[in-house]
Amino acid sequence: MFFLHNLERRVLLHPSYFGKNMTELVTTKLVKDVEGTCTGDYYIIAIMDTFDLSEGRILPGSGMAEFTVGYRAVVWRPFKGEVVDAICTSVNQHGFFSNAGPLSIFVSTHSIPTEIQYDANATPPQYTNHSDIVIEPGTHVRIKIMGLRTEVGEMFAIGKIDGDYLGCLQA
Amino acid sequence: MGKTKTIRLGNRLRYPITIVRLLKSPGDTVKKQDALMEYSFKWYKEVGDTIRGETWEEEQTTYADWSSPSDGTLNAWSIKEGQVIKQDGPCVLIDEDCSHEIQFQGLCAICGKDMTEANWAAETRDTERAPISMVHDQTNLTVSSTHAQKSERELQTRLLESRKLSLVVDLDQTVIQACIDPTVGEWMKDPTNPNYDSVKNVKTFQLDDGPHALVRKCWYYIKMRPGLEGFLKRISTMYELHVYTMGTRAYAQNVARVIDPEKKLFGNRVISRDENGNMYSKSLQRLFPVSTNMVVIIDDRSDVWPHNRPNLVKVTPYEFFKGIGDINASFLPKRQDLLTSAPSTNGVKKTEKPAEKSAKATAAGKDTDEVTKEQLEEQQSALEKQINERPLQLLQEKQDKEDEEAEKATGQSDDSASSRSSSPPPQRHKVLLDDDRELEFLEQHLTQLHKAYYASYDQKKTKRAIGEDVPDVGNLLNNLKAKVLRGHHIALSGVLPQNTDIYRSEIGQQITSFGARLRSTVSKEVTHLVVNTAQPGTAKLNAARRYPHIKIVGLEWLAQCFTEWTSVDETPYLYFKEDANNVGAARQGEDSSDDSDEDMEGVDTGNNAPKTPQPKRNKLQLQLPPRGDDDDDADDVEDGLLPDEVEEGQMSPIDGLKTFNWGSAEDELAEFLASGSDDDDDDDEDMDEEDEEDDEDFAPPEDSSSSSSSEESSASRKRSRSRSGSPATRKRKLEDDGDGEEDGQEDEDEENSPAKRIRRMKSARGSSLRHQYEAAPDLPTPAVTGDEDGVEDKAEEDGNNFTDLDEEALAADLEAEFAADLEAEFDMPPVGGYGAVQYKRNLPAHGLFRPRNLVLASAGLMVYGWYQLVVGVREMNEMAREKMWARIHLIPMLQAECDRDLVRRHLADQAREKELLGENFKVYNSDRYVRPTFAAVPQHVTK
């Protein structure tokens, strides 16, 4: 699910950047540092705007200036039970991998409807029901997230496509 | 959905236990960590006073819950209430909701639960339920062994239905060769380059997987083995193809795209170093964890498949870019199975170093991570080196140079060509040759194997059901290979280092795997002797020549046999073919040692012109450089030959000495010796002129002493004589010579200098002394007597020193001149020697302060002091005793005073209290007297 989230971050600025357009530089650096990262619970998709840019404080020892910036960002937090659209990346006999944006989701054969079977002889290998549904790398799939696990800067999910309105989107 | 799992009690309980109550009954839903039953156990507790050591053990009974290690529905109990259980055993059957058989990055792929959570109820972590990673392109997807078996069985049935087998294909040097030398790119753009035709079909791609700046975004040049496309197309009808390479993932995928652009052959069945999980070896179990019965491998190295050798079809390494080798082999051990006799033309040995290093590092017990890191760096530097040094360009330049030379001297061109490579190149001016035919044979073998497999399968199928006990392709492969060289007995010569176990060596194992018998020595049974044509060992060669039936062939024959899987015709590979033609009949009559001689000549000088044996041998003696022969026996043979040569005396190497000019040599020698003695003279010349008889090296100090005192000098001379011992006699002759010389010299000198005069004076004195010495020559032990004499002399004649000094003062002017003369050149002791040492002290021996009196006085003083000390200590002790007793007697009086003061204060206190409160009351609950506490407050505070 997407949220608009108020966040805060300390940005360090190198002394060589001290000058007139420092606030601009701080914002740019913030965007560069933060956008597209995963904090563990959610992905920061985009920064809307910044507010409350603190005064810079010179850090003794390094000479870097530290700014505390409050900003508003669009974040995406996948939830268990959430339905997402993903693109299949790799298929094997145990299931298939897909990516919903930055999130890698694995769907196992147990969570694929029984009529959709693995076909190893096809090139490339695919999951198919031998009529209209073909899941191969590149296919768009609608997946319900069954489980989530987070590691430092990474998230993994398990999904399923046996359910109403789930599965291959190109059919 | 789930399946029934038997759950055991576990080892952590304190057996024996008694089941008290079953909390859940069959049919109940249980959750992880729910209490399922209650049990009790008895144990002994130590009670009592631990400090005094009065403890005893008391039996205690404790009740505890037993919790469920997994989710599901309780199926049945294997235990009942009141039962006493002695040891771990099955406890309950639970229908599990999910058996977590497929896991992705710590998540169960079936139920979506987190598997990494640890809890007290389960003895093992849930991640251990799925330990096998069997997917090509992912390592974080793991499955349980039962699931692996299931999916493998599916694979097997699918393959059997389509009558296929699995074929694991190695990339580097098996089906392709990669290189990153930018020279290739330049050649590809330049149609005038001689290698243009060869590199026309080289495919390229760009990769930025190098961490270093230089290797980033470098071009990879991929040369496919000739006929690869057709080979793969045809083979893919019989085999399902997998790629298994030691390159990185990106590299593997790019190469797969090059050789299979439509992804029809390999699909996504590509596994690389990144997913392999092992830097040093490949394993079929990574892809086929259960059964490898239907898997065939083609690879150019057998040592990377330590556990899957039976399934391996070894391929001759493809070497198109000469000297480059395998760009991804930095991690692998050095290859030892090269079947080429000629030493590699290009010395790029980058693959060897890191492997050796790794071996060392692992031996030293280093961290494997560290080693891997080091090797990564090593590989990077190797790649950089390839880009920078451009080995191919160097090679081509070298080749061009050789060509030029060859054109100049066309007669020698055959020689250089044959020595450079085993097969003469069709076009001289080209480095890259595209004449590999390996794949044709490989296709034949694989087809043959496929046929054999399904023949055997069909035979079995009639008896058994599908999927059960399929034939093992490894056995079939072994049978096929074992037919190839059956009946051959092969001995090796010059192929392996001397101390290696030939049966365990790579070549040895290969030979035996092809059905031939390996022999360590040459005997009657041996049918083939395989020699390294670059450096053949002579001993076995000689032995083999005794048997006419033994075929002596080069290593190339063996390689060809391994490639073609037939016992190929030996004729093109026969060793010393031309020798046999040339010398043939002449050699028949001669014995074997002569034979060997001829052979060596044939190899080393390459001289094929027919000559009579005699002059040829002479030539050999003169021309042969010392050979580094690795066979000890061979050396023996040669040694045995040498004396014969000399006896025949046709042209012995030392014959030349007969005409040598001995006279001039002697002159030279004499001159050399004379110069040595001259040097000695020069050292001491100025001093020795005074004492002509004295030629010894330690002359200078003696000389000075002799000038100061005749007696002393005589004594010291005696000493020096005795010290010099035998050298003195040896030098006698030289002294005579020196005398003569010096005499002559002195005649030439002018006589006006005072130094000269005094010198002569001294020499006269010295010679007289010498006469004295020689008058009494037979001292029994010269050393001891000499020394004693010296000491005594000195002691007696202390007084005489003054007279000597006076004498010196008389000749002072002369001496000064002489000293100036001397010091101009030498840094010697002062003229007249050092002054006598003053060793006496001025102590009065008589009178009041004579030593005896002094000693007595100091002794008396000391005795008095000690006496005073003892008296003082006694007095101190007495005083201390007195003080102690005085106090003891005073104490009652002091105490009484203190008590009176206390009572007074107490009464005053009471009075004050009464005045303030009107009444006295006790704060304490007893009649015991409590001393009032008071503090004296300083006056100035209250003020």
Tell me the residue type at B845.
A
Answer whether A152's CB lies under 8 Å from A37's CB.
Answer: no
Reference B300, options B216, B379, B380, B225; nearest CA is: B225
A chain contacts of residue B154, beta-carbon cutoff 8 Å: 93
Judged by CB atoms closer than 8 Å, whether chains meet at B268 and A124 is answered as yes
Element containing residue B189 per DSSP (H, E): helix B182-189
* Closest residue of chain A to B161, computed from CA coordinates: A121
Which residues of chain B make contact with A137, given a CB cutoff of 8 A?
268
CB contact under 8 A, A120 and B264: no
Nearest-10 crossing angle of helices B506-513, B555-564? 50
Candidates A95, A137, A156; nearest CB to B105: A156
Distance from A4 to chain B by nearest Cα, in Å?
28
CATH architecture, domain defined by B1-97? Beta Barrel (2.40)
- Count how many Cα atoms sit within 13 Å of the Cα of residue B284 in the half-sphere of its side chain: 26
Helix (H, G, I), strand (E, B) or coil at B474: helix
Distance to chain A for B101, nearest Cα, Å: 10
With b meaning 16 or more CB within 10 Å and e meaning fewer, what string describes A23-48?
eebbbebbeeebeeebeeebbbbebe
Backbone phi and psi for residue A79, each to the nearest 5 degrees, phi listed first: -115, 155
Q: Nearest CA to CA, how far is A16 from chain B (Å)?
A: 26
Q: Which CATH number fits domain A2-76: 1.20.1050.10, 3.20.20.70, 3.30.1490.120, 3.40.50.261?
A: 3.30.1490.120
- Work out the angle between the directed axes of helices B473-484 and B438-461 (0-180°, nearest 10): 130
- Looking at residue A68, its pLDDT comes to 94
pLDDT band at A73 (very low <50, low <70, confident <90, very high): very high
Ramachandran region of residue B415, left (φ > 0), alpha (ψ -120 to 50) or beta?
Answer: alpha
Q: Test B109 with A110 for CB contact under 8 angstroms.
A: yes
- Residue A127's pLDDT band, with cuts at 50, 70 and 90, is very high
Chain B residues contacting A via beta carbons under 8 Å: 102, 104-114, 116, 135-138, 140-141, 143, 147, 151, 154-155, 158, 162, 262-264, 267-268
Q: How many CB atoms lie within 10 A of CB B251?
A: 24
Angle at B641 between CA B636 and CA B647, to 5 degrees: 145
Give ranges for CATH 3.30.1490.120 in chain A.
2-76
A155 contacts in B (CB within 8 Å)?
Answer: none
Q: Residue B324's pLDDT is what? A: 76
Biggest CA–CA distance in chain A, Å, is: 69
pLDDT of amino acid B757:
55
Complete DSSP assignment for B37-83: EEEEEEEEEEEEETTTTEEEEEEEEEEEEEE-SS-EEEEEESS-TT-
The predicted structure's pLDDT at residue B602: 38
> What pLDDT shows up at residue B183?
81
The Cα B354–Cα B805 span in angstroms is 82
Helix axes B662-688, B726-748, angle to 10 degrees: 80
By C-alpha distance, the chain A residue nearest B99 is A110
Distance from C-alpha of B462 to C-alpha of B471, rounded to nearest angstrom: 13
Residues of chain B short of pLDDT 50, as ranges, are 1, 211, 341-366, 411-428, 467, 577-653, 655-656, 676-751, 766-800, 802
In this prediction, residue B424 carries a pLDDT of 42
* CB crowding B685-697: b at 16 or more within 10 Å, else e: ebbbbbbbbbbbe
Of A97, A109, A147, the CB nearest to B112: A147
Contact between chains at A149 and B102 (C-beta distance less than 8 A): no
pLDDT of residue B700: 45
Interface probe with B: pick from A158, A160, A161, A162, most Cβ of B within 10 Å: A158
Nearest by CB to A106, which of B136, B141, B162? Answer: B141
Cβ-defined contact of A149 to B105 (cutoff 8 Å): yes
Is-cis flag, bond preceding A124, omega within 30? yes
Q: With contact defined as beta carbons under 8 Å apart, do A145 and A134 qualify? A: no
Report which secondary-structure segment, H or E, holds B834: none
User: Contacts of residue A90 in chain B, CB cutoff 8 Å?
Assistant: 137-138, 268
Cα separations in angstroms, B215 against B351, B393, B461, B936: 18, 19, 55, 92
Q: Is B815 helix (H, G, I), strand (E, B) or coil?
A: helix
User: What are the residue ranges of CATH 2.40.50.140 in chain A?
Assistant: 83-168
State which fold the A83-168 domain adopts: OB fold (Dihydrolipoamide Acetyltransferase, E2P) (2.40.50)
Identify the architecture of domain B163-406+420-441 in CATH: 3-Layer(aba) Sandwich (3.40)
Higher pLDDT, B941 or A99: A99
Q: What is the pLDDT of residues B871-881, one digit of tens each?
A: 999 999 999 99
Nearest to B260 by CA among B277, B243, B283, B282: B243
Reduced to 3 states (helix: H, G, I; strand: E, B; else coil), residue B290 is: coil
Angle between helix B710-724 and B754-775 (nearest 10): 60
The model's pTM is 0.59
Task: Dump the DSSP string for B553-573.
Answer: EEHHHHHHHHHHTS---SGGG
Query: Distance between CA atoms of A55 and B792, rounded to whole angstroms?
Result: 102
Q: Residue B565 and residue B561: Cα distance in Å, rounded? A: 5
Distance from CA of B232 to the nearest CA of A (A): 15
Task: Inspect the interface and report whether the beta carbons of B147 and A121 lie closer than 8 Å.
Answer: no
Class of domain B485-649: alpha beta
> What gap in Å lies between CA B445 and CA B427, rounded to an integer?
31
> Could you tell me if B357 and B332 are in contact, meaning their C-beta atoms sit under 8 angstroms apart?
no
CA distance B509 to B516: 10
